[in-house]
Structure 1
């Protein structure tokens, strides 16, 4: 029995995701036991049973272990492709619910663990700030694909910044703050309507 190309691609993607989760899980365990600064890439790789080279291929730098960027692109795509009758704030809310609602229990646990440590590690604050700016830039561009997204870049940046403000304020020290984010986005949407 042969495996189709799509089945083998699906298997490869699942194996990659499992490897990423295993590396992050071991990194989080070691960060908790030893401290972030005291934990080396070599220790993480050994604990996850991968080579340091494999770890670098998946994450690039140690700080990137704390921030799972696996959800950024799907969130931006879901935002751009959200139902056209939704306002841009509602579209972002829809996108977050779609992407994070589809996480497996293991993926959800991984995202929460990474965010909890991220907020505790001073060395990673710059990475978090950069991730917020990257998401704001991506939302600014995605607004061009929304029917209510203005052509003026400054206006799109302000809209993306307003959404990022909600994200920053609700997520600070609170991983996956679904209820708080739902409420904050509803407030933003009602005030902008």
Structure 2
């Protein structure tokens, strides 16, 4: 029986895939910002990332996905669920976001901001970005409902989730225009303000 090499081990394979995916997206965002979204081809992105166009499409099925797709929703789900029991939904979310941002490098933060700038400035991306925002709101509503032991369609859960999501989107969009903003601190401060003024009350 052939021994498994290091490259055969799932952990290493997954890390290699993650590096390839990140490299493709980094080059795509750089080229979109330098040349314009419409004037940049998938072939140019593939050449810059030293992969084939088919590899680009394997990781990003559409050109829009090169900007709008990321791995942060699964990270938020895991971090949210890992927070200590007994906390309210806002402290849970604040803790989850602090955990995520603590694990991000300066380069990853810069890429995230560049992606937001593109989604705001390129009309071709608005539809895909809206679909992603709707899915993130749905995910957040599910997390809050489960944490609170309430139905997903509970009006308090939906109102609370919408308010929290609105705060997060507003801060993210403002960060795109204010590069010196300390985004983790501003998100935390804004969510704390929301908790003070709009708590999720039990009936």
Q: Deviations over 1:19-72 (max 9, x none)?
A: 112111211221122111111111111211111111111111111111242011
Structure 1 segments, 4+ long, off by >4 Å, are: 2-7
Task: Normalising by structure 1, report the TM-score.
Answer: 0.87
Does structure 1 conserve the Cα–Cα contact (< 8 Å) formed by 2:94 and 2:191? yes
Task: Note the aligned Cα RMSD (angstroms).
Answer: 2.4
Matched with 1:144 is 145
Matched with 2:196 is 190
Q: How many residues align?
A: 191
Question: Which structure's relative contact order is higher, taking Cα pairs within 8 Å and 6+ residues apart?
Answer: 1
Distance 2:172 2:152 in 1: 29
Structure 2 unmatched runs, 5+: 177-181
SS at match of 2:68: coil
Does structure 2 conserve the Cα–Cα contact (< 8 Å) formed by 1:119 and 1:173? no
Does structure 1 conserve the Cα–Cα contact (< 8 Å) formed by 2:83 and 2:92? yes
Task: Normalising by structure 2, report the TM-score.
Answer: 0.83
Distance 1:7 1:51 in 2: 22
Matched with 2:186 is 180
Question: Residues 6-155 of structure 1 correspond to what in structure 2 (within 5 A)?
Answer: 8-146=9-147, 148-151=148-151, 153-155=153-155
Distance 2:36 2:95 in 1: 37
Quick one: structure 1 residues 27 and 149, their matched pair in 2 at CA, closer, same or farther if it must change by over 3 Å? Answer: same
Structure 1 unmatched runs, 5+: none
